[in-house]
Each structure stands twice: as C-alpha cells, then as structure tokens.
Chain A
C-alpha cells in the first residue's frame, strides 16, 4: 500500500527557509505569491492488512520520529 505523509510547520512557527524562498520568488518576478511555507513529504510503501492498520502504523511513525509535534503537524494520505 502506498502512503504519503506531509509534515508542515504549525502556524505561528517562524519558517526562515520558507521566507528565503518566498523572497527569492519575488526576486524572480513570480507574480502573486502572498506567502510560502516549506514542509516535508515522505512517500511510504507499507505492508498492512487494511487501511486502518496502515494508518495506525504511520501515525506511530509520525509521532515517534517523522514529525516533531512541538513545532510540526502531519497529515497521512492513503
């Protein structure tokens, strides 16, 4: 089963990398970019009997390692 996990900074957490990319886009003259935040994507192949089982494993993965829940949110797509 294929899954995609997206980890993003919580709102309000300063994202200096996102800010630098945002100003680089402005310097390139890309119109209309009001704001930009950088995150991470993990594509996972997971062996599980069903979606609930896969979701449970991936939630454990996020909570234990993939996200630092002090500053990051995660979303799991199956």
Chain B
C-alpha cells in the first residue's frame, strides 16, 4: 500500500493522517502540495486530510477542490484508485465532483468538537474490511460544516446503491434524534462513490489510533486500507 497525503494551504491534520498511515502500513506516505500536478508513480491511496483549506473562503473546500493536483486525483479515482477524504477532505471531495452532494453549516450553527459514535454500514469495502458490519465505533468529530445534504434523488441513490459508509448513532447504536450532531440528512457521516473506491467522512478516524488518547476505533480503517 503506497499512500500520498495532499497538503493544501490551511490543512492541519496531515501530520495525524501520516502517523495513522505509517502505523498501519509501516511506510511514510508521500506528502504532496496542492499545486503539484502529478501523483508519485505507483500510488494506491490518495488522502485529503482535515483542516481549513484556503481559510474556508467562498465555501468549505471550494478553492481546494479546483487545485491543480485535483485533476490527477480525479484521474486516479477514474482508474479505480483509492481516495480518502476526512472532514475538510470530504468537503473537498464534494466540491471537486468526486462525491455527490454538499456539506452545509451544522443545523444548530455550532462548531461541534466531541467524541461521536458511528455505525459501520458495510464491511465489504477497501476502507472497512477490518470492521464488523453494523459495528458501533467511537471516534472524534470537529467541524462547523458537516451537515450532509443532497436532493431527494441523490439521497435515494446513495441509500439504494448502498453508498452510505457511516451513520451517526448513540453508544447503543440508536440512530436519529440527538445522536445526529449536525442535522445531516439520513444521519449520514460518510459516503462512498458509486464504485466504492472513494470515501469521504466528517469524523476523524486518524485521531483514534492510540490508547493514549482514549480509543483505537479508527485504527481498523487504516488496517483495512493497508491490506486492500
């Protein structure tokens, strides 16, 4: 598994992401700059980390979604290559057209920064093979614009084709109501592309890989990728 992490002006989770990838794969990922034009040869996985790319100006992820490197990322995804976007990375994937829909301001207008339970919707993908289906995991969320929205047809397509990757839930797996931290439609925390080789999610699995910080529920995502 050869990974590359793309750094945009204003990214701030690239170090955590590199550490999680290194722990799972045993290799340091390549760090790329947003105005690079090519991915290193043989890259299997491209990661867009969290942060506030371009200061969240215009719309979250809007300017980064049009960065020079994104043409190479789109070509990589079109070849079936793996792409992971976390938090601001998810926003960038939506703005770049690699994933459908949009992440809007949290319905309660508050930045949420807390631990959050998720349900793993399926475990037959490159990203989730080391989880159990319907497993409840606890990871961190930290975002002001994580409210996933699309039109009714878009949501129906995600649900019909099994493209919802993670849903917000409470500690006992109950979905909906107060377990939804941001108003996201259908409690969506993360989605796949049609071929399930692109994953975007708001929560931060890369921050839950070490018992030192209170949990390791994020580790399985990187272990899944390491063996994909």
Chain A residue at smallest Cβ distance from B63: A65
Chain B residue at smallest Cβ distance from A66: B58
Q: How far is the CA of A20 from the CA of B110 in the complex (A)?
A: 12
Interface assignment of B74: CB less than 8 Å from any CB of chain A: no
Interface bin, chain A: 10 to 19
Interface assignment of B194: CB less than 8 Å from any CB of chain A: no
In the bound complex, residues from chain A placing their C-beta under 8 Å from that of B104 are: 13-14, 16, 71
Check B101 against A65 for contact (C-beta < 8 Å).
no
Tell me if B's interface is mostly helix, strand, loop or mixed.
loop
In the bound complex, residues from chain A placing their C-beta under 8 Å from that of B37 are: none
In the bound complex, residues from chain B placing their C-beta under 8 Å from that of A13 are: 104, 149
Interface assignment of B44: CB less than 8 Å from any CB of chain A: no
Interface bin, chain B: 20 to 34
Interface assignment of A68: CB less than 8 Å from any CB of chain B: yes
Q: How far is the CA of A55 from the CA of B211 in the complex (A)?
A: 57
Check A68 against B105 for contact (C-beta < 8 Å).
no
Check A65 against B62 for contact (C-beta < 8 Å).
yes
Check B66 against A65 for contact (C-beta < 8 Å).
yes
Check A14 against B95 for contact (C-beta < 8 Å).
no
Interface assignment of A17: CB less than 8 Å from any CB of chain B: yes
Residues in A18-42 with C-beta less than 8 Å from chain B? 20
With A65-B66, A70-B150: A16-B106 Cβ-Cβ less than 8 Å: yes
Instruction: State how many angstroms separate the Cβ of A40 from the closest Cβ of chain B.
Output: 8
In the bound complex, residues from chain B placing their C-beta under 8 Å from that of A71 are: 102, 104, 149
In the bound complex, residues from chain B placing their C-beta under 8 Å from that of A65 are: 58, 62-63, 66
Check B107 against A14 for contact (C-beta < 8 Å).
yes
| New A-B pairs, 4, CB < 8 Å, besides A17-B109, A65-B66 | A14-B147, A14-B183, A70-B101, A71-B102
Q: Could you pull out 22 A-B pairs where Cβ atoms are within 8 angstroms?
A: A13-B104, A13-B149, A14-B147, A14-B149, A14-B183, A16-B104, A16-B106, A16-B108, A16-B109, A16-B183, A17-B105, A17-B109, A65-B58, A65-B63, A68-B59, A68-B62, A68-B102, A70-B100, A70-B101, A70-B150, A70-B151, A71-B102
Q: Which residues of B contact A (CB under 8 A)?
A: 58-59, 62-63, 66, 95, 100-102, 104-109, 147, 149-151, 183
Q: Which residues of A contact B (CB under 8 A)?
A: 13-14, 16-17, 20, 64-66, 68, 70-71
